[in-house]
Amino acid sequence: MTAPSQALKLTASAALLSLLLAGGCHKKQPTNTAGSGVDGAPGLTSDGVAPTATLTADPLTIEQGASVVLNWRTTNATSVTIDGLGTLPVNGTQTVSPANSTNFHLVAKGDGGTVESNVRVTVLVAQPPTTGNTTGQVADTDTNGAAMGSAAEFAANVQDVFYDYDSFDLRPDAVTAAANAARYLNAHPAIRVLVAGYCDDRGSAEYNITLGENRANAAKTALVNAGVSASRLRVVSYGKERQFCTEDNESCWQENRRAQFTLDR
């Protein structure tokens, strides 16, 4: 074999060996697990992590015709359903009025599997009235000034509660306002209240309707926890459709992020 042939063979062998070594030493790049968190901030994805879910009802026992607030919280879930209510946000609240005692069943699914949660609401069936009243007259508490109070007293004692941006958690000032409202309402048992949820004008109409309902339900729950009967409270959401202030600044937006209490005639 001539010298040029030997040199060519050695060069080819060296090139092949370099390719083999390069392929064997190549490290697989780690999978990027960073995702988009709240407001675009980096966070970890829920890939492979089992979801968790809790479902509660407030109150757990109601009279027939009254309503109850379902509240659910999940982690690492991508979809949530509740039997009879369909597909829902992964966290939220919803007011329901079951006609009979009902077991609410939640299913939360995520990349890491499926988890379930249940809560039972007991509905008390009203009993027929007794015949103890021999006068044939029914007391009308709605016309009793002591039971109803006045509109001015209501406005002074039952004040609106306000929320932070994109939140329906009660702040300390909202907790205090709800407690003061509950004391007045418990002293005037004939009053019925409309609890309306509002949002500022940022975001879609659909999103804000849900957020407004969550805010109204959070305020209602605070009153119920303070002793006000749930049957006296009615919830509605206006989302961003009815603005208290229309200027484009934080002070104005704060005015619109509220749950408002009004007399429900």
Task: Name which residue leads in pLDDT, 234 or 152.
Answer: 234
| pLDDT, tens only, 86-109 | 999 999 988 888 887 888 999 999
- In sign, the C-alpha dihedral spanning 232, 236, 242, 247 is positive
In the chain, ranges of CATH 2.60.40.10 domains: 52-124
User: In the prediction, which pLDDT does 40 show?
Assistant: 33
For residue 20 the two structure tokens come to: 């083999």
The CATH homologous superfamily of the domain defined by 144-263: OmpA-like domain (3.30.1330.60)
Query: Would you list the DSSP string of 92-157?
Result: EEEEE--SS-EEEEEEEEETTEEEEEEEEEEEEPPPPPPS--TT-----GGG-HHHH--HHHHHHH
Q: Which residue has the tokens 């991508």?
A: 78
Return all residues near 181 (Cβ < 8 A) that are at least 6 apart: 157, 158, 159, 223, 261
Output the CATH code of domain 52-124.
2.60.40.10
**Whole-angstrom Cα distance, residue 144 to residue 40?**
55
Cα(188)–Cα(230) distance, rounded to whole angstroms?
Answer: 14
Quick one: pLDDT band at residue 185, thresholds 50, 70, 90? very high
Nearest of 196, 204, 202 to residue 161 by alpha carbon: 196
Asked whether the predicted pLDDT for residue 220 surpasses 70, the reply is yes
Per-residue pLDDT tens over the stretch 125-173? 655 544 444 443 333 344 445 567 778 889 889 999 999 999 999 999 9
Say if CB 235 and CB 213 are below 8 A apart: yes
pLDDT one-digit tens code per residue, 21-70: 544 434 444 444 333 333 233 333 456 899 999 998 888 888 777 888 88
What are 39's two structure tokens? Answer: 């407001």
Intervals of CATH 3.30.1330.60 along the chain: 144-263
β-partners of residue 121 are 102
d(CA 24, CA 27): 8
Two structure tokens written together for 245: 């202030």
pTM: 0.50
Q: What is the DSSP letter of 86?
A: E
